[in-house]
Amino acid sequence: MRNKNVWLVTLGILLIIGVGIFSFQYENPDSDTADPEEGLQNESQEETNIEKQKNPNGNEHFSVQHTEYPGEVTPDFSPEELIEPPSGNWLTNGGNIYNGRYSPLSKIDTSNVSDLKAEWITSMGTGLKFKYSGEATPLVYDGVMFNVTGENHVAAIDAKTGEFIWEYKPKLPEGLDTLCCGWVNRGVALGDGKVFVGLLDARLVALDQKTGEVLWETVVDEWEKGYTITSAPLFYDGKVYTGIAGGEYGIRGYVAAYDANIGRQVWRTYTLPEPGAKGSETWPEDSENWLTGGAPVWQTPAVDPELGLIYFATGNTAPDLDGSNRKGDNLYTDSVMALNADTGDYEWHFQEVHHDIWDYDPANPVVLYDVKMNGETKKGIAQAGKTGWVYLLDRTNGKPLVGIEEKPVPQNKNQKTSPTQPFPIGDSFVPQEITEEDIERDLPKEFNGKFGNIFTPFWDEPVTVKPSPQGGANWPPSAYNPNTELFYVLGNDNYFSYAHYAEDEENKFEVGKEWLGSIWQPVEKSPSRGTVTAIDIKTNKIVWQNDWDTIAYSGILTTAGNLIFTGHNDGRIIAYDATNGEKVWQFKTDAGANAPPITYKVDGKQYISIFSAGNSLAGTQHGDKIYTFSLEGKYGSLEDIPEEDITVSPAKEEMDFNQGKQEDKNEVSVDEGLKVYENNCLSCHGAEGAGGHNGPNLQDLNMNKEQIIQQIKNGGGNMPGFEDGLTEEEIEAVTEYIRSLSEEEG
């Protein structure tokens, strides 16, 4: 008994010591938000202030402050401040609330851009596993940069040196698996002394800008039902705006506004109308499509304060590829929408694709612009579609600024296709048809399937069409330069086949399960190409275009130095002359450059920066580094950079905890192979090996075990190798799982 008492006393002392090291913050279980004034205890250490916090739902997070915050904190920005093009800071995901990604900075221009060299390189230390993708746009305010990785790891970094100031990483639910397209986060928002970040488990979090400590946290929705957040929030007028991802899971899309001080919801507007509401007549009567029909909003909105409107584009209809049970145009899917920014009330919409069965949702962020046309200044909004067209609208009313014609399209009675589709006047920036010459040049000799043009429908026989569900334009943001009056857009050009198998058991709706309704897959042994295109904003005509031998999957920055910057899958950040498209500079990083570049100024010096971390859907080399360049930089190539000159997160070891579903490395079985598959292969190949975004159907795989292992290790085609990313046990396990898929079908 005495020994037991001694043990209890010792345990109590250890607990007291533990509480002295780690402080915990709890949300009020009766409230949706945490009180920012309560429960924040900071245990000081000599150089590092570490905080491990937990809320009642068990969602722990790690927070660490390395140095004193060196700059001023953001104010409650006025509309005028947020409209200004980013001339020193980079305040919003799109540079300003117009989303134009244009900077008036011009110290770096076409005459000296060839002198750009790397000034500093910082390793974030997270997001290296293949399931993560680096798509974030860093923000900069008063000499401090804020970045986030695919693991939802947020860092404040000295924008002059690359040194870490503080870091935050949440613990996401162990069962998190409702992510159609990889683990991504496209950025944070800044305002009123706070850093706002949306998490993959559909939480919205506010961090103290100086310390990284959690001020409040709100559950936006239930990830178990397919709702997630991948976009950067937007701060405007004391509110934080966010949309929701999850269109592949049969959700009901919406945009919501939250009070920036306490995290309480101010309004929520659904993008699927309830029965009897405007737009409900475009769905079958007496159905539940309005609850499961999709229309997510997974890009950062834009705002026009003068009009008081917030703008965004909505995502795909659900199920994506099966229109047989949703007759009608299916509003407000595949649409550009305008709402009252203060109340969320509907103002106008324009639908780009009626009754979508091709996953042609407008994934590209909307861009606001002002331009003189016929002697009159027009308030425009541009949206680059997966269709391969740019839609140029009057943002006061949603009417076309450059003509858009409704034209008849091929029909399929089973799919209940729309009789017409909108065709913008002007040029498409990717091919929209497949010709006999294309087949002969690009596809394997054994290809003998049906093929067609844009809007060609399909049913139980596979049909190959262009553009593919990758676009056209996908999520990588476009840019507009008011000096050249050109709109710059990245495009994808590849071959995808569609077929209808909606009666299969796995394609029936189930809450929290991916729900495509049919099958899509890339044509094996076919090329993937990309385009970088400049389009005249007044005519929608191509001024210049550069072709790539891979998809274009990063984003664009344009500046008053008559430049555009973009990232390439092979790791290069490239600069082009904005007027004629001539390549004027490049630098190759150590991973896929699959995020948009930014520019900013500190102490009179202009910098160019990009988060180069790779992308799962693009199949590129993964990494974790921010590369920042200036005319006074030291490193002309990757080989010039000494390892010791790369800043590495001091908290890298502490942040090495897993997110979501985990693999058990000690067992080799089909079940364990499924876990490896879900973390590394699902986004490309789809659930149970079918219906992915750019990988072939594994249920039809004709390879023996050794061939599968070699393919996993070495890659090939558009697939990267995993020899360095998976253990031998994991490769063995996932091989067995892949073999089981074809055996089940056979």
How far out from the chain centre does Cα 495 lie?
22
The residue whose two tokens read 């043990």 is: 7
Closest CA to 341 of 75, 77, 80, 97: 97
What are the C-alpha distances in Å from 151 to residues 36, 113, 172, 615? 24, 33, 9, 13
Burial readout 6-45 (b: 16 or more C-beta within 10 A, e: otherwise): eeeeeeeeeeeeeeeeebebebeeeebbbebeebbeeeee
Q: Which of 359, 361, 493, 577 is catalytic?
A: 359
Show the 3-state SS of 164-199.
EEEEEEECCCCCCCCCCCCECCCCCEEECCEEEEEC
CA 197 to chain centre: 13
The reply to whether 359 belongs to the active site is: yes
Bridge partners of residue 546, in order along the sequence: 532
Sheet hosting strand 605-612, strand order edge to edge: 598-602, 605-612, 625-630, 117-123, 646-648
Q: In terms of C-beta density within 10 A (0-12 exposed, 13-18 middle, 19 or more buried), how is residue 671 classed?
A: exposed
Q: Whole-angstrom Cα distance, residue 458 to residue 469? A: 14
Nearest to 691 by CA among 246, 359, 324: 359
**Pairwise CA distance, residues 391 & 150, whole Å:** 30
Report the C-alpha gap between 622 and 490 in whole angstroms: 21
Q: Which helix (H) or strand (E) holds 487?
A: strand 486-494
Contact at 8 Å (CB) between 390 and 429? yes
What is the DSSP-derived secondary structure letter of residue 408?
E
Are the C-beta atoms of 567 and 555 separated by less than 8 Å? yes
Kindly list the distances between the CA atom of residue 299 and the CA atoms of 28, 52, 420, 654, in Å, as whole numbers in the listed order: 31, 31, 27, 31
Cite the active site residues.
359
